[in-house]
Structure 1
Amino acid sequence: MARLDILDPAWIEVVFSGRNKAYGAYVLRKENAKTSVRALIIASLFFVLAIAMPTIINKLKGFIPKADEKVKIDDVVLTPPPPIDAAKPPPPPPQVEPPKPKVDQVRFPPPVVKPDNEVPEKDPPTVK
């Protein structure tokens, strides 16, 4: 059995024989190798540049003179806080009763065990 290389330009000619070669797919597949190599080189350059960027910046910092930074420092004088009266405690918050529920409820009532004949059978609710 012959080995078929689908990336070979001859294979592209076989696939597009008798078809419209002006269509974009033929041009894209014909230039695929060149485009892939170009993309690999550009991506590699960006990757190497991103990895080397901190080193490049550190090397350039020595060549660029720093500007003289003048920092203005102001002395701030704070006034003393007002005295706190230790004799007068703050008033307690008003006692507010929580509102009573409209219906007496028990969140989880305890189950009541009854004989089978005393328990009414309920059908599950249906959607109307």
Structure 2
Amino acid sequence: MAKINLASEEWCDLIFEGRNKGYGAYKMRMDAPKRHNLSLLIIVLLTAFFIAVPELIKLATPEQKEVMTEVTQLSKLDDAEVKDKKLNKVEPIAPPPPPLKSSVKFVAPVIKKDSEVRDEDEMKSQEQLQESKVTISIADVKGNDEEHGKDIAEIKQVVTQAPVEEVEEKPYTAVEQMPQFPGGESELLKYIFDKLRYPTISQENGVQGKVYIRFVVSKTGDVKDAQVMRSLDPYCDKEALRVIRSLPKWIPGKQNGVNVPVYYVVPITFKLQ
């Protein structure tokens, strides 16, 4: 059986053979394939339009990123290995002794007649020697300062060693009473959240994650020696360091009831939403 095309003009003429073709049904039958094709084309175009409209609107509208800076809870990390630098002990140099006056040379006694002994050569009593402040020595000391020098009897203490400077105490990693931010941990998180600013270039590059900052709370409660322990990117690292270095004084940590410097670690999260 031959295949019949029901939309062909030959089939339409066969159907309307011997019938009135002027009242409209014949024309509608003849135009039906065109109408069907046009309707199908319109449906396809409308479908494609409605699918493309949201994408076109999205492309035409500049992308806006909602930025949310999240500060995570504090956590303890293993401290980075810090190698102690061996310092050579420098022996202090003792200051030179003060200039002295010449001492009186001891002269062996000579027996003479009383008439030959002058008053100034007579042996003085102990009281007279103390009043005159004369020092008896077995030898003369040459090169002394007679005008500005000191009497050896007036020197009560001789300094033999220069004072040693106090060595800075190494920070602790854990103590009996850890340092505390004024108001507690919640106030610390609020302070960081209020001060932290997400770097624009990091937002544009889609950078997000955590920066870990370690710093020292000194014996006086000052925050110092802040450094990045785990980096995210240079701009986020710099911003995190800026905020940590701006922290006010803390309540210092204590060991055996004495204020001591202590290491402290704070993780800061940068997150885009």
| TM-score (normalizing by structure 2) | 0.22
Compare the two structures and name the one with the higher helix fraction.
1
| TM-score of the superposed pair, with normalisation by structure 1 | 0.44
Is the radius of gyration larger for structure 1 or structure 2?
2
Q: Which has the higher strand share?
A: 2
